[in-house]
Amino acid sequence: MDKILVPADDTVHGTVTLEDVARVAGVSRATVSRVVNGKATVAPALRKSVEKAIAAMGYVPNLAARSLVTRSTGSIALAVSDMSAGQIFFDPFFGRVVNGVTQAVRPRSVQLVLALVDDEPSRRQLLSFLRQGHVDGVILVSTHADDPLPAELARAKVPAVLAARPPEPLPLSFVEVDQRAGVFLAVDHLVALGHTRIATVTGPQDSSSGRERLAAFRERLAHHDLSESGCAEGDFTQVSGAAAMRTLLERAPDTDAVFVASDLMALGAVTVLHRAGRRIPQDLALVGFDDSSIALACDPPLTTVRQPVEAMAAQLAELLLEQIISPQYPQSRIFQPELIVRDST
């Protein structure tokens, strides 16, 4: 194994410079600079030598100086649009997004800035923040189809990636789960178990995911020559899931199965069913969507459609970092869902 010989002077105890690393690695200062800045134009052997020297000497890049040269801040924003702080922090979906993005950027020493955009002033503030270059780019989680922010990001020409397919064609990359395939898995499962009076608790119909899941639900029921037993709209919160379930029990009391468009709403529905004396799954089967920690908190544990949120969030970060380094044509990444069968069906 090659060894790096660290000079016996005070450079390793004080500020280690690019020149120090270059001298120990036996390369030019320019080569060290290219390695530190992640450039691909360095031979593997030279890169390995430089990385060993960096590790041995404890070199830490001067981010302030580097930003003057690269125009990089070493940080990105994760913006959540049209949701209150209460909704975000009580919904495990968003915690998983933050975790997935953080795990992707941390090894690169990239800092994550969380931005909550819930009104017009905060939207203008975010756009100004991005245009002024306080961060290198933004990942946008938007919950409403009529949100103007995706189009405004495209016009501002700042590096941006969306956590869902945009409602209209935009020159922005995006990542999402195959919503249609996920709902098909849920409906097919309920039909295979012999259920024929299947209802749904939908997500908000001003959101793309809410609309897509409802359309796929109806499409798959028609495929099985069934019509929906009932439909009630929620907003992806536990309270709305409980209210929607009460509505379904009033309008369609003979319903024998319900597809709920999120696990958090399903938790609310479970509470209502227990209070109504409905046994799960003997009297009414239940399938959710997400496979969050909420699915295991339900009684009984919830059958649900799993979307790999952490992997999707990591892909969002990867696409954004690639775009920051080298602007490219928009890309899409569609992840496949999986049905996780538990005791609610």
Q: Do domains 10-70 and 75-176+310-335 have the same CATH topology?
A: no
Superfamily of chain region 10-70: lambda repressor-like DNA-binding domains (1.10.260.40)
| pLDDT at res. 7 | 41
Q: Using the structure block, give the residue that is written with the tokens 């030019």.
A: 28
Mean pLDDT, range 267-278, rounded to an integer? 97
User: Does the domain formed by 179-306 have CATH 3.90.226.10?
Assistant: no
Given a contact cutoff of 8 angstroms between Cβ atoms, the answer to whether 20 and 61 are in contact is no
Q: DSSP letters along 242-282, please?
A: HHHHHHHHHH-TT--EEEESSHHHHHHHHHHHHHTT--TTT
Instruction: Work out the end-to-end distance of the chain between its first and last CA atoms, rounded to an integer number of angstroms.
Output: 58
Over the stretch 69-122, which tens digit does the pLDDT of each residue have? 445 788 999 999 866 656 666 778 888 999 999 999 988 888 999 988 888 888
Full-prediction pTM beyond 0.85? no
Over the stretch 277-333, which tens digit does the pLDDT of each residue have? 999 999 999 999 999 999 999 999 999 999 999 999 999 999 999 888 877 788 899
Domain boundaries, the chain: 10-70, 75-176+310-335, 179-306
Cα 300 to Cα 292: distance, rounded to the nearest angstrom: 15
- CATH architecture of the domain with range 75-176+310-335: 3-Layer(aba) Sandwich (3.40)
